Amino acid sequence: MSGTSVTTAPADAELRRSIAATLLPGFVGTTLPAWLEARLRAGLGGVCLFGQNIASIQQLRALTGAIRAANPDAVIAIDEEGGDVTRLHYATGSPFPGNAVLGRLDDTVLTERAGRRVGEELRSAGVTLDFAPDVDINSNPDNPVIGVRSFGASPELVARHAAAWTRGLQSTGIAAAAKHFPGHGDTAADSHLELPVVDVPVEVLRERELVPFRAAVEAGARAVMTSHILLPQLDPELPATMSPAILGMLRDELGFEGVIVTDALDMHGASGERGIPEAAVLALAAGCDLLCIGTENTDAQLQAIEDAIADAVAASRLTPARLADAAQRVHALSASVESAPVQSAPVQSAPVQSAQTARDTPEDRAVSADSVVGAFDVSETGREWVRAHGGAAYSVVRVETVANIAVGVAPWGPFAAAEGAPRDPAAAAFAAQPVVVLTEGADSALALDASLPVLVVGKDLHRHAFARAAIDRLRAERENVVVVDMGWPAPDRAYADIATFGASRLVGQALLELLGRGS
């Protein structure tokens, strides 16, 4: 079998149905395209939604309703981590704290509540599978793609919060997909752009990276997402997504029986050297069940992938039984979500905001901004600056770095908070301050009022030479400078007088409340 020809033989039709059931494409637009509707009616496994597909909660409900009308068994997936990575709140910034904040608060009951609130929103929106929680251990502070998406740097801490978030999310009937197996935390590269290498022995992997995945599996996670990283001491040739040896650990050592879903195959770490069709074949052969294709897929692209998989079967690189097993797992996932009871009993924990419907306003939060401040790391310099200048006039230097692809361009930090709650006194006060934007390549000699103290706000500042240079210059020229890092700071906190460990809208509001306290 080659090209795009499709026979009508029963065996071939059954094979094609199995292939279609393993595919999870994205698409362009806020309505269901005709080509995607046709594929759903023919048995396509599901659809993955991104920020670009969402204009409002009403529009999203109509979209998921159209998907379900075309295929009631379709998986409707989304990346909603409840923090810096958000799709439901891509236009406004997330009203949830994010994993690193939850890990620092270290209240698993609160973490479970946050997972439940996210699940309630997804359930209301018609989504069935959430690519969360991120259970990577952020053991490398220079990690460009995980950072504050992680609960922390300790395997035990990450494990207990991974289990709590999973329980909370799945209590609403939404399936969780713990990610990125076997662990993306010890990397200094972004698999969206290249193939990261984690050169550690299997013993280290078992004692560190696998601990949170085991906890998520034991908590009942219905899916696990793979990573496009190379672990040469386990498989010197193939990234985890395509490695039978590595995925075998998930099945055999961790006892996971649910759906193994790939991270997006359009990422360079997966398809940069081989193309998406071949990456799809290798992922299925390795043991993956559901293939997340990417963000802007087309009918022609899916046809090429289906044909490549069919050709692999014809060439005995892939068996019909492996495809049938993958399709069965995907169908079982969809059925488990549909039949799952929603546990509505509230969890008793720290102060929370009530939420009865899908939340898209800054007032409707799972965790209060006041609680979030407790997760901040504030140096004495930061405390002195807040005491002396909080609540007064100051200049703001907004450091804009290139966001990783997972985060995208969602509004962040105090800027999102000020825009989202203009009547809030702290937000209004911040919005009144003069702002200078600093970007890479711009002149570091910033035009600032010499009479005003300076608040520098950015993310992962220690990783960006232009940001370090500008901060060093400001500190040399002035005495009244405070630096806020809303990413994952360096261990020595050299560029983080105030470290917030997240940049969601809620965390931004918490920062504004801290700044507004003054003396």
Cα 217 to Cα 44, 213, 492: the distances in Å are 27, 6, 34
Range of the structural domain that residue 70 is part of: 14-339
User: Are 315 and 419 contained in the same domain?
Assistant: no
Judged on CB neighbours under 10 Å (0-12, 13-18, 19+), 350 is: middle
Q: Would the pLDDT of 349 be above 80?
A: no
User: Are 162 and 303 contained in the same domain?
Assistant: yes
Give the rounded percent of residues in the chain with a pLDDT score beyond 90.
Answer: 77
Going by pLDDT thresholds of 50, 70 and 90, the confidence category of residue 116 is very high
Distance separating alpha carbons of residues 360 and 183, to the nearest angstrom: 31
**Contact in structure between 506 and 375 (CB atoms under 8 Å):** no
The pLDDT assigned to 350 comes to 29
Q: Would the pLDDT of 404 be above 70?
A: yes
Q: Identify which of 62, 80, 58, 78 has the alpha carbon closest to the alpha carbon of residue 70.
A: 62
User: Are 329 and 409 contained in the same domain?
Assistant: no
Task: List the structure tokens of 499.
Answer: 């470290």
User: Are 255 and 403 contained in the same domain?
Assistant: no
The pLDDT assigned to 341 comes to 53
The pLDDT assigned to 8 comes to 46
Q: Identify which of 288, 516, 211 has the alpha carbon closest to the alpha carbon of residue 390.
A: 516
Task: List the structure tokens of 108.
Answer: 């698993």
Q: Would the pLDDT of 242 be above 80?
A: yes
User: Are 412 and 373 contained in the same domain?
Assistant: yes
3-state secondary structure of 289: coil
In a domain, 182, yes or no: yes
In a domain, 346, yes or no: no
Going by pLDDT thresholds of 50, 70 and 90, the confidence category of residue 351 is very low
Going by pLDDT thresholds of 50, 70 and 90, the confidence category of residue 56 is very high
User: Are 312 and 394 contained in the same domain?
Assistant: no
In a domain, 352, yes or no: no
The pLDDT assigned to 186 comes to 80
β-bridge pairing 454-458 and 395-400: parallel
User: Are 316 and 404 contained in the same domain?
Assistant: no
Q: Which one-letter DSSP state was computed for residue 494?
A: T
Q: Would the pLDDT of 225 be above 80?
A: yes
* Model confidence pLDDT, tens digit, residues 284-309: 999 999 999 999 999 999 999 999 99
In a domain, 63, yes or no: yes
Which residues are designated catalytic? 192, 263
User: Are 318 and 392 contained in the same domain?
Assistant: no
In a domain, 494, yes or no: yes
In a domain, 271, yes or no: yes
User: Are 387 and 272 contained in the same domain?
Assistant: no
In a domain, 347, yes or no: no
Those residues with Cβ within 8 angstroms of residue 40's Cβ, 6 or more apart along the chain or in another chain = 32, 47, 67, 70, 71, 74
Find the mean pLDDT for residues 173-194: 86
Going by pLDDT thresholds of 50, 70 and 90, the confidence category of residue 194 is confident
Residue 134 backbone dihedrals phi, psi, to 5 degrees? -80, 115
User: Are 95 and 22 contained in the same domain?
Assistant: yes
Going by pLDDT thresholds of 50, 70 and 90, the confidence category of residue 424 is confident
The pLDDT assigned to 7 comes to 42
| Tally of structural domains, the chain | 2
The pLDDT assigned to 495 comes to 97
User: Are 262 and 127 contained in the same domain?
Assistant: yes
The pLDDT assigned to 508 comes to 97
CA angle 213, 373, 163 (to 5 degrees): 15
In a domain, 277, yes or no: yes
H helix count then E strand count, the chain:
19, 14
Query: Sign of dihedral through CA atoms 119, 139, 272, 276?
Result: negative
